[in-house]
Chains A and B, each alone.
Chain A
Amino acid sequence: MKLESKVPTGPIEKSWDKHRFDLKLVNPANKRKFKVLVVGTGLAGSSAAASLAELGYNVEVFCTHDTPRRAHSIAAQGGINAAKNYPNDGDSVWRLFYDTVKGGDFRAREQNVYRLAQVSSGIIDQCVAQGVPFAREYGGTLSNRSFGGAQVSRTFYARGQTGQQLLLGAYSALMRQVGAGTIKMHPRREMLDLVVIDGVARGVIVRDLVTGKVERHWGDAVALCTGGYGNVFYLSTNANGCNVTATWRAYKRGAAFANPCYTQIHPTCVPVTGEYQSKLTLMSESLRNDGRVWVPKKKGDNRAPDQIPEDERDYYLERKYPSFGNLVPRDIASRAAKNMIDEGRGVGGTLSVYLDFADAIKRLGEDKVREKYGNLFDMYHHITDENPYRVPMRIYPAVHYTMGGLWVDYNLMTTIPGLFCLGEANFSDHGANRLGASALMQGLADGYFVLPATIGGYFAGTKLGKVTTDHEAFKEAEASVNARTNKLLAVKGTNSPSVLHRKLGHIMWDEVGMARSEKGLKKALAEIPAIREEFWKTVAVTGTGDEFNQTLERAGRVADFLEFGELLAKDALTREESCGGHFREEHQTPDGEAKRDDEKFCHVAAWEYKGDGKEPVRHEEPLTFDNVHIATRNYA
């Protein structure tokens, strides 16, 4: 396997323009002859599908939900970054590029990140043109707020529902094309395999989740926009249905999986209350614009928050990182919270710290705070039965986003020609840690602007023969999907899939979570295969494969997580350094900050599948920094 990043040479400011010019074009009349299969309808999938159809390509779209509007991008709260510099506070494409490379702890490709910063402005323009109701100033111009890891206000937002509004914008563009007949939409379909013919991606096998019918679909290219793998930890801020299945099956068909150990733990989530809990709810990073994080100075101080006087509180982020304060990047804020709790300073004897709005309410008034964050406060109130306008929120870090994903080149193509990967599902732009409000930016950059440009280069530069779904490769892939379904149904054990998923999650969180060590990772690598074995002996999947069967859907996803979790732990064990969201206890500074090893690990690790039971092969793509000086991150 060769990893050719295909990044353009020459000055970085001109890279994307030059690359687009160098790509061959498909004549407008020929575009409809190419069929693209888009899997997933979050920000990346919906925006890509709509934009490709607008260009004239023939597009078919698949999603597991009853309607494409429910993809998990909908839940993104705080905002989307763009280098507009509307507030006149010194922002620029270069600064957004720099902040993102630094925020990712120097583990992303410079050229990809620069392109992301360059197209960011166009995303805001496009979304506004679609009628996305961003927050506005009284004069009618767009409002901005600040997010972690930046000292400028470049985040655009629609209350605490930015992801919802952006997704509904992309969904409306998608629906417009479905109505016009240029896109065929297949809801309630789950991709269960990729079809590769002569080394090229030529189709997918999906299961109709209502009837259970397994279908074959051919295409000239396949774009996976299937999101991240955070649910390998069982508890995360992801929706229940988020899974690794599509990218994992693609990995098993030859797509390299890059940096799976780069997982983001978000510092501000509603804490766990019991074993039955099915998910963790995020409290947006935007809250750190006005909320102050603190714990008592004294260990085991169990007084109510309003009984703890000001001078007995430790606003530890403001103390340790005075120039960024409460707005340090997520990996830093999460580890700081963990350290406070490990020291025994969790608030009220619990595993949580305070996020306090008392000062903001005093300064701005309750109404202004409600206008900015009302829906988040309501969500918190629903879950905890505590009113955050009166008492500080209790928060704790939780798994939120995954920076790793399928390896892609500058064109967003995986190591399988014809297989593209967009959004959170790919690995490329965030390095080892994603900055707040950059996920929405990247999903939409990939979908609105990058893939529509690069896919033409692929079609124009490749000789693609006709295929039909009678091809042997389709038969083989369908047979393997059916065999797996039958195998799941045949176990007839007594453990529901979620019981085994929870077991996996405990190991992942304890040993492969916020702090990782060689000993713990080796323990995880011994235990995960044991749970996998237990799964295939004891899982209970009721019903049949020929009907709406959510237990079967869940079981298939858990089975894939049980394989994938091992690769994640292996990647974490091999990366003997700390960087961004990957923290190895053996590699830290005396103050407990992440210590990179640029000599040995300034590279992307991309894993190649070699068969079940065989060791995967680790490939390296070296990273070079010609435009940003590689340095120790410093937010103090």
Chain B
Amino acid sequence: MTTKSEAKGLNLTLKIWRQKNAEDRGGLVEYKVENVSPDMSFLEMLDVLNEQLVAKGQDAVSFDHDCREGICGSCAMMIDGQAHGPDKGATTCQLHMRRYKDGDVIVVEPFRAKAFPVVKDLAVDRSAFDRIQQAGGFVSVNTGNARDANNILIAHDTAEKAMDAAACIGCGACVAACPNASAMLFVGAKVSQYALLPQGQPERDKRALAMERAMDAEGFGHCTNEYECEAACPKEIKVSNIARLNREYLRATLVSE
């Protein structure tokens, strides 16, 4: 079934964070993988390692992954200190081994933030994002209440801007990349999507306040304009969404309190 001539395989050294569970201390463990095809994705390279480990009776490296096409937001790792690795605008599953050369040493760690406790190895608990969403990341409209879709007119450019913000996959790279482990880009993207659209107006102020407070309660830090989140975001969501979140929050505090 091979369709592409396979270039020479790579021999790599991996230093992977292993941690049995949330209580365990954890540490880096070194592994060798040989003859890695440059056409493999990073996760496929880890699959190969895991197949070898399991065949030897050793515990496989745990990591969250699912769609493997950059949209589900499951995969999340720090690769040589960068969230999702060196490629711009890509998730870990979209990183391919052609990025590396023979003999490279690669350090792989979980996303680190107080609000993202480690579950096991590279898998972390990002349910804090769900709780922020529960606080106000929605339009309160029950099924069956909607009017005809074309009765709500939205200018093309506004819809595009809302879509830019809505493209967030909830992976948490913004948090992992931020020196303060702030979730401002995640929250800013959601608040922006609704603030830009007419459907979001009735709950606009309530939403900004509730989501920002939920974010603080989860233990995320604050924004100090490092712009690391934008650089790490696999969907290239802009920090202008954080600026909008700040304006929305300010507006809401003036209006409602």
Contact = CB atoms under 8 A, between A and B. Distances in A.
A548 B94 contact: no
A141 interface: yes
Q: How large is the interface on B (under 10, 10 to 19, 20 to 34, 35 or more residues)?
A: 35 or more
A168 B168 CA distance: 10
Contact of A136 (B119, B155, B194): B155
Contacts of A311: none
A625 interface: no
B8 interface: no
B145 interface: yes
A74 B6 CA distance: 32
B100 to A, nearest CB: 14
Given A54-B142, A131-B199, A136-B154, A74 B134 contact: no
Interface in B133-171: 133-135, 137-150, 152-156, 158-160, 162-163, 166-167, 169-170
Contacts of A281: 68-69
A118 to B, nearest CB: 14
A184 to B, nearest CB: 12
A382 interface: yes
Contacts of A452: 143
Contact of B57 (A126, A382, A492): A492
B254 interface: no
Contacts of A394: 3
B237 to A, nearest CB: 13
Contacts of A185: 130
Contacts of B20: 547
A147 to B, nearest CB: 18
A67 B130 contact: yes
B6 A274 contact: yes
Interface in A535-590: 540-543, 547-548, 550-551
Given A74-B72, A378-B89, A496-B50, A175 B2 contact: no
B68 A279 contact: yes
A133 B130 CA distance: 20
Contacts of A47: 143
B139 A140 contact: no
A426 interface: no
A136 B69 contact: no
A367 B129 CA distance: 34
B255 interface: no
Contact of B70 (A135, A171, A379): A379
Nearest to B125: A66
A130 B150 contact: no
Interface string A126-170: 111111011111111110000000000000001101001100100
Contacts of B119: 66, 210, 548
A241 interface: yes
B54 interface: yes
B48 interface: yes
A327 interface: no
A468 interface: no
B80 interface: no
B59 A543 contact: yes
Contacts of B199: 128-131
A123 to B, nearest CB: 9
B43 to A, nearest CB: 7
A139 B199 CA distance: 17
A173 B138 contact: yes
A176 B65 CA distance: 26
Given A350-B3, A452-B143, A547-B20, A138 B155 contact: yes
A126 B138 CA distance: 13
A499 B60 CA distance: 14
B156 A126 contact: no
B128 to A, nearest CB: 10
Interface in A97-145: 122, 124-131, 133-142
Interface of A: 47, 50-51, 54, 65-70, 72, 74-75, 84, 86, 122, 124-131, 133-142, 158-159, 161, 164-165, 168, 171-173, 175-176, 178-179, 185, 187, 210, 239-241, 271-279, 281-282, 350-352, 371, 378-379, 382-383, 385, 394, 396, 448-449, 452, 492, 494-499, 540-543, 547-548, 550-551
11 contacts: A70-B170, A72-B72, A74-B71, A74-B73, A75-B67, A126-B146, A176-B134, A176-B138, A371-B160, A496-B55, A540-B55
Given A172-B137, A379-B94, A499-B51, 8 more contacts: A51-B142, A75-B67, A126-B141, A129-B149, A175-B138, A239-B66, A240-B65, A276-B37
